[in-house]
Amino acid sequence: VFPVPEGFTSETYFRKLCYDGFAERYPQAPESYVERLEYEIGVISRMGYVNYYLIVWADRPGRVRR
């Protein structure tokens, strides 16, 4: 299990990261983009891959490790 900040579950932290990155890349995204993001988050969640994605996100190049 990926360690998440206090007050989050793996699911809620993953969703936060997704929406933060989405807002940065698409500040005025059409509703269809948001619907697709929700769909993709749902697939990842239903497949049980949330922790895997968090681990990969944490291990990306350029990220400072503590």
Separation CA 64–CA 53 (nearest Å): 17
pLDDT digits (tens, 9 = 90+) for 7-62: 999 999 999 999 999 999 999 999 999 999 999 999 999 999 999 999 999 887 76
Which residue, among 54, 13, 20, has the nearest Cα to 37 in the 3D structure?
20
Choose between 31 and 1: higher pLDDT: 31
3, pLDDT greater than 60: yes
pTM, two decimals, is 0.86
- Alpha helix (H) residue ranges in the chain: 10-25, 31-46, 50-58
